[in-house]
Amino acid sequence: MTLASPGAASQDAASQVAGSERPDTPGAGREPGARATSRGPWVTALRKLLQDRAAVASLAALVLIVLCTLAAPLYATRVSETDPFTSNLSGSVVVDGETVDVIQADTGGLGLGTTPIGPTWTGHYFMGADGQGRDVMARLLYGGQNSLVIAGGATVITLVAAAVVGIVAGFFGGIVDAVLSRLLDVLWAFPVYLLAISLSIVTIGRGLVLGPVTISSSSLLLPIVIIGIIYVPYVARPIRGQVLQLKRSEFVLAATGLGVPRHRILVTDILPNVATTLIVFAPLMMALNMITESALSFLSIGVQSPAASWGTIIEDGQGLLYTRPWVAIAPGIAIVLTVLALNVLGDGVRDALDPKAKLRVRKGR
């Protein structure tokens, strides 16, 4: 699985769809109303996931990253003792017993330019300062909070919206399917980044007004909603396809023949099967969303100043590449690590939920 193309994610996850209706897949193939045993498919999947060392390591890395970002306020007040959202252009800091300016005027040659303090590897300005004299480490932690919240929030929106649209379109078919599918086609017709940038530019000025609800331009909800919406077709399409297959499966036909109400078939037969696909999609979409958020913030149309995200910090560091490259490199590394962990975890989840993968593992042994 790569993040090169959202379509690739869709196809890869969709390939798992075929297996999801098999009886050995979590939630699939159960008789309506049947209860899972203690060694049911979900437990089996979890055990398989825990046997995947790469996935477990990724999960641990993610947990560590989340915990670090949650500690941002503590770090800012107790360790760096700075306000990472306030410019500190004229401030100074004591390093190795010596007081130095946070922004230092260059004195060599013609004396042109100024340079922010570099990494001190101590509590104050551990990773140095950005062009505004703000502590990079503290902003990195706060920025991580925002990046994760946006990526996570957008993923929830994408998955919920995609599940509703995909299930309704696939299950009810007919005119409902035609209308919803065309709506998805319209969204799909736009290159994803072009759509995200366009929506962001339009809404960043005055915020987003949805009836009585107004989301201000500085609210994190704005990038969450925008990113959440743009990826809906990429998940809804495979979900719809899976539901179309499930509709023709024997257990659904049997339930229909027995007169089970449609809403009950949806809840007990369709949704559990679709859930596995959504679970597989979750980490992969979160990785995609994180990259999209970083891109939008890098372009100044995502998280708004003075708040930070890893994308805004990279942008802050863009003008310091020759003198303080760490300002841009540090959030870059954070994004790479997080996205890599999410992708590896996503692959692990897919393998755990995919019976074909189980067969492969057994053959391999």
Partner 1 sequence: MRLRTLLTTSALALGFAASAVQAAPDRAELMKQHRGGTLKLNAHGSAGTIDPQINYEAEFWQLLYTTNDGLVTFKKVEGKDSNDVVPDLAEAIPSPQDGGKTYVFKLRPGVKFSTGKDVMPSDVVASLQRVFKVSSPTAGSFFNGIVGADDCLKTPATCTLKDGVIGDDKAGTVTVHLTEPDADFFYKMSAVHASILPADTPAKDLGTTPAAATGPYMIESYNPDRGMKIVRNPYFKQFSADAQPDGYVDGIEYNFGLDDQAGVTAVANGQADWTFDDVPTDRLNELGTKYPKQVHVHTLLAYYYVPMNVNLAPFNNVKARQAVAYAVDRKALVGLFGGPNLASPLCQQLPAGMAGHEDYCPFTQKPGAKWTAPDMAKAKQLIEESGTKGAKITLIGDDKAIPKSIATYMQSLLRELGYDVDLRVVSHNIQFTYIQNTNNKVQISVSDWYQDYPAPSDFLGVLFSCASFHEGSDSSINISGFCDKKIDDDMKKAAATAVTDRAAADKMWAQVDREVTDAAPAAALFQPKRVDFVASRVGNFTYSDQIHFLFSQAWVQ
List residues binding partner 1 (CB under 8 A).
85-87, 89-90, 103, 105-106, 108-115, 131-132, 204-205, 216-218, 300, 304-306, 319-324
Cα 128 to the center of its chain, rounded Å: 28
Question: At 321, is the secondary structure helix, strand, or coil?
Answer: coil
Which residue number, 88 or 155, has a Cβ lying nearer to partner 1? 88
Which residue number, 239 or 314, has a Cβ lying nearer to partner 1? 314
- The nearest distance, CB 301 to partner 1, in angstroms, is 9
- The nearest distance, CB 297 to partner 1, in angstroms, is 12
The secondary structure of residue 266, as a DSSP letter, is: I
DSSP H or E run through 202:
helix 192-204
Which residue number, 191 or 319, has a Cβ lying nearer to partner 1? 319
**Burial environment of residue 218 by CB neighbours within 10 A (0 to 12, 13 to 18, 19 or more):** middle
Which residue number, 111 or 174, has a Cβ lying nearer to partner 1? 111
- The nearest distance, CB 102 to partner 1, in angstroms, is 10
Which residue number, 73 or 325, has a Cβ lying nearer to partner 1? 325
- The nearest distance, CB 90 to partner 1, in angstroms, is 5
Alpha helices, DSSP H, located in 205-266: 221-230, 232-247, 250-257, 262-265
Residue with tokens 């995919």: 354
**Burial environment of residue 261 by CB neighbours within 10 A (0 to 12, 13 to 18, 19 or more):** exposed
Which residue number, 221 or 266, has a Cβ lying nearer to partner 1? 221
- The nearest distance, CB 303 to partner 1, in angstroms, is 12
Q: If you compute the radius of gyration of the chain from its CA atoms, what whole number of angstroms results?
A: 24
Angstrom distances, CA of residue 289 to CA of 53, 149, 166, 235, 343: 25, 10, 20, 13, 12
Which residue number, 162 or 320, has a Cβ lying nearer to partner 1? 320
Quote the CA–CA distance of 60 and 56 in Å, as a whole number.
6
DSSP H or E run through 17:
helix 6-20
Closest listed residue to residue 185, CA positions, set 233, 136, 132: 233
- The nearest distance, CB 220 to partner 1, in angstroms, is 14
- The nearest distance, CB 205 to partner 1, in angstroms, is 7
> Which amino acid does the sequence have at 159?
L
Quote the CA–CA distance of 54 and 347 in Å, as a whole number.
9
Residues 31, 32, 36, 40, CA torsion sign: positive
- The nearest distance, CB 347 to partner 1, in angstroms, is 38
CB 296, CB 150: distance < 8 Å: no
Which residue number, 102 or 341, has a Cβ lying nearer to partner 1? 102
